[in-house]
Amino acid sequence: MKGRYDDENLKWIPILIIAVYLSPFLLKSATFSYKYYLYILNMAGIYMILTVGLDLLSGFTGLMSLGHAAFLAIGAYTSAILVDQAGLPFELSLIITPVIVGLCGLMIGFPALRIEGMYLGLTTMGFGFIVKRLIIAFRDWTGGSAGLQVSKATLFGFTISNDWNNYFMIYTFAIIAIIVARRIVKSKLGRVFMAIRDSEQAAQASGINIAKYKMLSFFISGMFAGFAGVLFAHTNHFISTDHFDILLSVYFIVMVLVGGVGSIYGAVLGTLFIVLMENMFIPLFKDTLTQYMHLEAGDFQAFIFGLIMLLFIIFQPMGLYGMWLKMRIYWKLFPFNPRKRFT
Amino acid sequence: MLKMIGVETFYGKIKALHGVSLEVLEGQLVCILGANGAGKSTILKTITGLVEPEYGTIHFNGQRIDRMDAEDIIKLGIGHVPEWRRIFAELTVKENLQMGGFLLKEKDLIHERMVEAFHHFPILEKRKDQQAGKMSGGEQQMLAISRALMLKPKLLLLDEPSLGLSPLLVQDIFATIKELHKAGTTILLVEQNVNHALKIADYGYVLTTGKIFLSGTYEELLDEEKVREQYLGEGKYNRRAKVWSG
Ligand SMILES: Nc1ncnc2c1ncn2[C@@H]1O[C@H](COP(=O)(O)OP(=O)(O)OP(=O)(O)O)[C@@H](O)[C@H]1O
Ligand SMILES: [Mg+2]
C-alpha cells in the first residue's frame, strides 16, 4: 500500500519476529519476576489481535466502534461454554467462535449502514451494555456476575498450562493475525475499505456495494475480536463482566489512535505501548499522585490515557508508527534539512 | 437516452425534487443550472441510485432504472463524477483508477483503460504513485473524471466540475468536457458557471428549488433575462450578474 505510510521498509520484520520468540528467554535470564512480565505481555498479545481487527474496521473502513470489548466478551464466553459445557475441543472453538462473533459483528453492522461517526460509536457502545446485561441474565451458562472458571487451552494434545506456554501460543496467533490483516489491507478488499472511508459517494459511484463491504468489515473485525476472546478465556482461566468493561472499548480505540490509525503495525505498537503504560509505568506514580490529586486509581489511569490520546491527536496524528517512519527518513536525509519533508 | 418523468426525491421528510422531468438525447451535452440547494446534485444522485426517488420514473435506453441498485445502474453504462471531486484521498492515483474499474473483471482491461487515462491526462501518469489527496484541485478533478471513464460510460454525469478551480483551470476542464463530448460521450453537466456551461451545451435546464423553471438551447436561455435574475438572485445581485457575463 502506498499512501499515508509510504515510507515503510519491512526488512526488519523477520528480525522482529525472532525477537518476539527470544524475549521470554531474555526476560527469564534478566529478572526473577519474569512471570509477571510475561503475563502482561500475554495480555498485550491478545489485545493486539483485537486492535488489529479494530483498525481494519475503524482505521481502514472508517467505521467507529465502541463495542469491541463486547465482541471480546462474546468470544470469551462462547468459547468457555462450547469447550467446558458442550465438550468441544479447543482447536474447534478457535475456528467456530470467531465465526459466531463475526456474525454478531454483522448484526451490529446493520445499523451501521444508516448511522455514522459518533452516533455509530454510541450505538456500538449501547451494544456493549446489552451484552453485559445478557451475560448476567444467562447465569446458568455464564455464571452471571460471579464470573466463570475456564479450562486451560489444549492444542493437539498439549495442555498450555502456564504463562510461559501461553506466551508462545498467543504470540504465534498474534503474528498470524497481523500477517492476515496486512494481507487484507494490501488486497483489493483493503482498497475497497479505504475507498469507502475516503468517500462513500464516490465509492458507490464506482459501483462498489458499500452496504455489503461495510458488513464484511464488521464481520472480519468481529472475527479478530472473537479469536482474541477465545485466547483470553483459556489463558486467563477466569472471566467475568469486569474484564470487558465499556471503558476497555475506549482503551482499544486509544491503542489504535496512539499507534497510528490505518496502518496495522500502528495498532500493534499502540497496544503494546498502552498495556505497558497501564501495568508498568502508571503504577510507579499512582501512589504519590493519588495522594496529591485525590484521584481514584482507575480515574487516574483514564486521565492519563485521555491526555495521551489528546496529545497524539494534536501533535502526532500518524501515531507511534508514523513517528518511527519519520525518524527513519530523518536519519537517512540527515544533513539535508529533512524537516521540510515533514510539514 | 435518459428520460426522467415527474421525479420526486426526499431526504427524510425534506422534499428535494418536486416532480422533475428532463430528457437527454444520445450524443447531447445537456446542462442543468441552478442556485445552491436547488437540487442539482440530487438529480444526479437519483439517476445513479445513490438516493431513491419516491415518485416518478427514470428510463435509460428504454430500461426502467429508478428502482435499481446503484451498482446495477452503473453497470448499464452511467458514470457519475460526484460534487467536490470526491477522490479517494489516501489511495494513490493508480489505485483510484483501479477503484474506478472496480466492476471490470479482467485485469488487462483495467490496465488498458488506465493507459488511456494517462494518455488523456499525462499529469496523472507523472503522479501515478502519489497520494491522490495531495494533488492540486485541478489534478484531482481530472482524476475524478478519469476514474468515472474507466468503465467507458455511455452517459457521463458531471457534478460541478469547475467548483473551486481558478479561471484558467476552469477553461481547461471545460475544454476537456468538450473533447469528451466530441469523442462521442453523452454528458449531463451540472454547473453554476452559466456562461461557460451554456456555451458548450446543446440544451439547458434551469432548476429552482426542486422544479424545472426553464429549459431551452443556449440562445433561448441567454435571451431570457429571467435566467440571470432567477439564477443569480433578483434586484441587487443583478448588477453583479452583468459583470459576470462580461
Ligand atoms: N444528505 C442530505 N440530507 C438531507 N438533506 C439534503 C441532503 N443532501 C441535500 N439535501 C437538501 O436537498 C436540497 C437539494 O440539495 P442538492 O445538494 O441537490 O443541491 P444543489 O443544487 O446540488 O446545490 P449546490 O449548488 O450547493 O451543490 C437542499 O435543500 C439540501 O439541503
Ligand atoms: Mg450540488
Mean pLDDT across the stretch A79-89?
Answer: 93
CB A230 within 8 A of CB A160: no
One DSSP character per residue, A219-268 reads: HHHHHHHHHHHHHHHHHHSEE-GGGG-HHHHHHHHHHHHHH-TT-SHHHH
- pLDDT higher than threshold 60 for residue B4: yes
Confidence of residue A10 (pLDDT cuts 50, 70, 90): low
Chain A interface with B: residues with Cβ < 8 Å: 2-4, 6, 188, 191-192, 194-195, 197-199, 201-209, 262
Chain B neighbors of A6, CB-CB under 8 A: 131
Distance CA A192, CA A198 (A): 10
Q: Out of A82-86, A225-229, B164-168, which region has the weakest mean confidence (pLDDT)?
A: B164-168
- What structural domains does chain B harbor? 2-77+154-244 (3.40.50.300), 87-152 (no CATH)
Q: Say if ligand 1 is within 6 A of residue B39 CB.
A: yes
Distance CA B44, CA B54 (A): 15
Cα B46 to ligand 1 centre (Å): 12
> pLDDT exceeding 70 applies to what percent of chain A?
86
- Quote the pLDDT of residue A5: 53
This prediction has a pTM of 0.85
- Quote the pLDDT of residue B188: 94
Residue A4: inside a domain, yes or no? Answer: no
Nearest 5 degrees, angle CA B113-CA B118-CA B123?
155
Q: Say if ligand 1 is within 6 A of residue B13 CB.
A: no
- Quote the pLDDT of residue B190: 92
Residue from A280, A246, A228 nearest A49 by CA: A228
Ligand nearest to the CA of residue B159, numbered in listed order: 2
Q: Which residues contact A34 (CB under 8 A, 6 or more apart)?
A: A24, A27, A28
B47: its cell numbers: 439517476
Q: Say if ligand 1 is within 6 A of residue B41 CB.
A: yes
Question: Shortest Cα distance from A212 to chain B (angstroms)?
Answer: 11
Mean pLDDT across the stretch A31-47?
Answer: 91
> B91–A202: do the CB atoms touch at under 8 Å?
no
* Average pLDDT score, chain B: 84
- The atom number, within ligand 1, closest to the CA of B160 reads 27
A177 C-beta neighbours (distance < 10 Å), count: 22
How many domains, chain A? 1
* Average pLDDT score, chain A: 85
- Quote the pLDDT of residue A297: 64
Residue nearest to atom 3 of ligand 1 (CA): B11
Q: Say if ligand 1 is within 6 A of residue B209 CB.
A: no
**Per-residue pLDDT reduced to its tens digit, A145-192:** 888 999 888 888 788 888 899 999 999 999 999 999 999 999 999 999
Confidence of residue A275 (pLDDT cuts 50, 70, 90): very high
Q: Say if ligand 1 is within 6 A of residue B38 CB.
A: yes
Residue A23: inside a domain, yes or no? Answer: yes
Confidence of residue A3 (pLDDT cuts 50, 70, 90): very low
Residue A3: inside a domain, yes or no? Answer: no
- Quote the pLDDT of residue A14: 85
- pLDDT higher than threshold 60 for residue B239: no
Q: Say if ligand 1 is within 6 A of residue B11 CB.
A: yes
Ligand nearest to the CA of residue A201, numbered in listed order: 1
Residue nearest to atom 14 of ligand 1 (CA): B39
- pLDDT higher than threshold 70 for residue A294: no
Of the ranges A127-131, A314-318, B163-167, B171-175, the best mean pLDDT one: A127-131
**Per-residue pLDDT reduced to its tens digit, A118-145:** 788 888 889 999 999 999 999 888 888 8
- pLDDT higher than threshold 50 for residue B137: yes
Residue scoring higher pLDDT (A48 or A302): A48
Residue A1: inside a domain, yes or no? Answer: no
Cα B126 to ligand 2 centre (Å): 31
Ligand nearest to the CA of residue B37, numbered in listed order: 1
Of the residues B20, B36, B42, B194, which should be mutated to test ligand 1's pocket, given the most ligand atoms within 8 Å of the CB?
Answer: B42
**Per-residue pLDDT reduced to its tens digit, B14-23:** 888 898 999 9
Q: Out of A46-55, A330-339, B52-61, B189-198, which region has the weakest mean confidence (pLDDT)?
A: A330-339
Provide the residue range defining the domain that includes A121: 10-342
> pLDDT exceeding 90 applies to what percent of chain A?
47
Distance CA B52, CA A15 (A): 54
Confidence of residue A339 (pLDDT cuts 50, 70, 90): very low
Of the ranges A115-124, A211-220, B85-94, B162-171, the best mean pLDDT one: A211-220
> B50–A262: do the CB atoms touch at under 8 Å?
no
Chain A neighbors of B91, CB-CB under 8 A: 3, 191, 194-195, 198
- pLDDT higher than threshold 80 for residue A334: no
Residue A302: inside a domain, yes or no? Answer: yes
Q: What's A146's domain CATH number?
A: 1.10.3470
Cα B193 to ligand 1 centre (Å): 18
